[in-house]
Amino acid sequence: MRTHLGVSETSRHRRCIVLGGIGGIVVAFARRHCSFYDSTFLFNATSEVMLKVSFRRIAEVIFDHQNLHDFEDEQILAGVRQWLSEPSNSQWLMILDNYDEPDTYDVVEYYPTASHGAIIVTTRLPSEVNGTRIRVGPPYDDRG
């Protein structure tokens, strides 16, 4: 995971991996490598509705707006994607967790528009999701 996400370098291009396998690995990875990322965001991708809820919660953290409840989901999504696409926000990790029903919506539509940062998609169906596929199994060790 560390190799594919470029944890040891300061890459300015997007790195995206798709993980299939044991739950909890991505959280352990994020904790272990948190010093590399300026921001780490965990999105619940079990459904499109839950993903939109996650974007709204992230927006509450990164924006200083008092009335985010007045914004439509598409405005929230556009704002967060734009914020992640800013050149000054290149060291982020976006975790799209439990994307297990890829036939119901396309998670790629939720990626930031810029080609920097790192994205991890966790799924039980890695063959159906675009990205570098990594099969992770026990045990998780210090090599990360």
Residue-level pLDDT, tens digit, the chain, 144 residues: 555 565 445 555 566 777 776 667 777 878 887 788 888 999 999 999 999 999 999 998 888 766 788 889 999 999 999 999 888 887 888 999 999 899 999 999 999 888 778 888 888 877 777 766 666 655 445 454
Q: How many CB atoms lie within 10 A of CB 110?
A: 21
Tell me if 106 sits within 8 A of 50, measured CB to CB. Answer: no
For the whole model, what pTM was predicted? 0.80
